[in-house]
Chains A and B, each alone.
Chain A
């Protein structure tokens, strides 16, 4: 609506003024390109550095590609019998399953909070939201101790379960449900005698899908990038996600610089899935949800 009005106004604006404005466009363009150079530079560096053998890494000019990419990939894959790929797989498991469960839980909770009036609704929402403010480490230490008591520390569950509850996801899902599901549709369903659960599953859930995909993506990235929780919970290398795995590699690299090339190659490989996910699902990133500006 606003866009069409704007375009119309722009069209009738005097051609000379429009031309004049377009002419000076290089200042903002250059400003943004400078920002892009800053953000892309480390990515360029890691792309080049991963092609270098260990000698080349410390001796040749850093932006000169080397000849060791395949050796590096091979050595990384061979490291402790393919442990790196186990880490990648673990990250995919934690982020994929955790993100999906979190999106579903946020969806059903946000829906209930947005579409029903019930006693204690505001109180429950506020308490859930306060969870956002809890520093993860304050939670991680007692969570670890309690998981240890339950015999669940150092298990896949110890990383998956705490990732499932996302106060922020619930908040986003509630905003989205409030904007995307018309009350009359639900009322019509109730008139027809549809059960509340069916109403949620067959009517509300499909309407909330775009919002829930956003919640899933946010959680996926948050879990994939998480370091603290798995770092505290896990002791067994085989269950590490790639972030903790790379940290242990780097730690050993301090004594054995030969591992640095593996760390660099591993760093590159660990961001590729996220960048691919991010570029391919770009249109699903409903970032406007963040500012609470939802238009249905």
Chain B
């Protein structure tokens, strides 16, 4: 009897999560798939009963989404943005992590907290702060340049926008990734360093030859999460938009989904676009994990 109780217990324990997962994730995903295959058929002016009818559209929404220039351009912009953001952010996180771990470093606690602090700042607020710092009228950087008789680069126009947006994400994300890397640096046995020092290795060589290879799994993890976050960039461009004309309402693919669904009321093509984004995210994630699994963990990935 006790054995039967033990057998049914885990199912009761996971039941709430499975229910919530089904209702809040699985059903909406299924619904999005369903909607992406539908369309609104409008006859006449679309007024009166029966003038608007939902019907099957097959893959029409998908072929429209894949041929949409705005979506492709948006994907291109996110690619440039991510190409700038991810290497700089993780590079800084790794360097700061190594500096924190160097045993000569002082003021360690202060620096660690200060660099991690932006994690507690919402993306919306981070965007607001930097947005004002980019505006020539409220930015101290421009003020100083102006006093020197120079004009600074325009960050809220053209290609400056990529720097402006990437910087916001770098500011917000470096500390978090630094802590992840630092934590895994701390778990390396100190004997390894002592042995290397006896062999005459410099601190720099130790960092390069021992520390970085040892924290490679953490780097893979942080890269993975940064990649997913990049593909889904939404809050930052959305909140920078009121401060500049340089961001269109379809700047990133997700902004286009939002506009299609809520400004235009075309939930069908919005669903198709979001399914495409989800598919690309999944493909990139799994592809990356497979690649990283082979490289970082050796072949024993069973």
Q: B184 — which chain A residues lie within 8 A by C-beta?
A: 291, 293
Q: Which residue of B lies closest to A162 (CB)?
A: B24
Does A196 lie at the interface of the complex (its beta carbon under 8 Å from any beta carbon of B)? yes
Q: Assess whether A190 is in contact with B2, with CB atoms less than 8 Å apart.
A: yes
Q: A121 — which chain B residues lie within 8 A by C-beta?
A: 10
> Residue B278 contacts which of A29, A58, A138, A197 (CB distance < 8 angstroms)?
A138
A39-B175, A290-B180 are contacts. A146–B28 as well, Cβ < 8 Å? yes
> How many cross-chain pairs have Cβ atoms below 8 Å apart between A and B?
290
A220, chain B: closest CB distance, angstroms: 10
Q: Please give the residue numbers on chain B whose beta carbons come within 8 Å of chain A beta carbons, in ascending order.
A: 2, 5-7, 9-14, 16-18, 20-21, 24-25, 27-29, 31-32, 35, 92, 95-96, 99-100, 102-108, 110-111, 113-115, 117-126, 128-130, 132-133, 137-140, 143, 171, 174-175, 179-180, 183-184, 187, 189-191, 194, 203, 217-218, 221, 228, 231-232, 234-235, 238-239, 242-243, 254, 257-258, 261-262, 267, 270-271, 274-275, 277-278, 281-282, 285
Q: Assess whether B234 is in contact with A137, with CB atoms less than 8 Å apart.
A: yes
User: Can you pick out 24 interface pairs between chain A and chain B where the beta carbons lie within 8 Å of each other?
Assistant: A25-B102, A28-B100, A36-B115, A39-B115, A112-B10, A133-B228, A134-B278, A138-B278, A141-B32, A141-B257, A141-B267, A142-B35, A145-B267, A164-B20, A165-B24, A225-B121, A225-B123, A225-B124, A254-B243, A264-B132, A267-B128, A270-B122, A275-B120, A287-B179
Pairs of residues from A and B, 5 with the lowest C-beta to C-beta distance, nearest first:
A25-B104, A6-B190, A112-B13, A116-B10, A36-B114
> Residue A28 contacts which of B14, B28, B104, B180 (CB distance < 8 angstroms)?
B104
Does A209 lie at the interface of the complex (its beta carbon under 8 Å from any beta carbon of B)? no
> Residue B138 contacts which of A57, A164, A287 (CB distance < 8 angstroms)?
A57
Q: Assess whether B124 is in contact with A246, with CB atoms less than 8 Å apart.
A: yes
Q: Assess whether B9 is in contact with A116, with CB atoms less than 8 Å apart.
A: yes
Q: Assess whether A145 is in contact with B274, with CB atoms less than 8 Å apart.
A: no
Q: A131 to B121: give the CA distance in the assembly, Å.
A: 25
Q: Assess whether A29 is in contact with B106, with CB atoms less than 8 Å apart.
A: yes
Question: In terms of DSSP, what is the predominant structure of the interface of chain B?
Answer: helix
Q: Which chain A residues (1-59) contact chain B, with CB distance < 8 Å?
A: 2-3, 5-6, 9-10, 13, 21-26, 28-29, 31-33, 35-36, 38-40, 42-43, 45-46, 49, 57-58
> Residue B25 contacts which of A40, A165, A195, A251 (CB distance < 8 angstroms)?
A165
Known A135-B278, A244-B124; 10 more pairs at CB < 8 Å = A3-B190, A6-B189, A28-B104, A31-B99, A35-B111, A108-B13, A145-B31, A145-B35, A247-B238, A250-B243
Q: Assess whether B258 is in contact with A232, with CB atoms less than 8 Å apart.
A: yes
A118-B7, A145-B31 are contacts. A32–B115 as well, Cβ < 8 Å? yes
Q: B113 — which chain A residues lie within 8 A by C-beta?
A: 279, 282
Q: Assess whether A142 is in contact with B31, with CB atoms less than 8 Å apart.
A: yes
Q: B11 — which chain A residues lie within 8 A by C-beta?
A: 118
> Residue A142 contacts which of B180, B228, B258, B271 (CB distance < 8 angstroms)?
B271
Q: Which chain A residues (235-288) contact chain B, with CB distance < 8 Å?
A: 242-244, 246-247, 250-251, 253-254, 260, 263-264, 267, 270-271, 274-275, 277-279, 282, 287-288
Does A203 lie at the interface of the complex (its beta carbon under 8 Å from any beta carbon of B)? no
Interface centre among B29, B95, B113, B114 (most CB of A within 10 A): B114
A133-B282, A227-B234 are contacts. A142–B29 as well, Cβ < 8 Å? yes
Q: Assess whether B128 is in contact with A141, with CB atoms less than 8 Å apart.
A: no
Q: B271 — which chain A residues lie within 8 A by C-beta?
A: 141-142
Q: A109 to B16: give the CA distance in the assembly, Å.
A: 8
Q: Assess whether B190 is in contact with A9, with CB atoms less than 8 Å apart.
A: yes
Q: A193 to B20: give the CA distance in the assembly, Å.
A: 31
Q: Which residue of B lies closest to A9 (CB)?
A: B194
Q: Assess whether B17 is in contact with A128, with CB atoms less than 8 Å apart.
A: yes
Does A63 lie at the interface of the complex (its beta carbon under 8 Å from any beta carbon of B)? yes
A63-B140, A271-B125 are contacts. A170–B17 as well, Cβ < 8 Å? yes
B57, chain A: closest CB distance, angstroms: 17
Q: A3 — which chain B residues lie within 8 A by C-beta?
A: 190
Q: A239 to B88: give the CA distance in the assembly, Å.
A: 38
Q: A247 — which chain B residues lie within 8 A by C-beta?
A: 124, 238-239
Q: A49 to B133: give the CA distance in the assembly, Å.
A: 11
Q: A97 — which chain B residues lie within 8 A by C-beta?
A: none
> Residue B133 contacts which of A45, A227, A263 (CB distance < 8 angstroms)?
A45
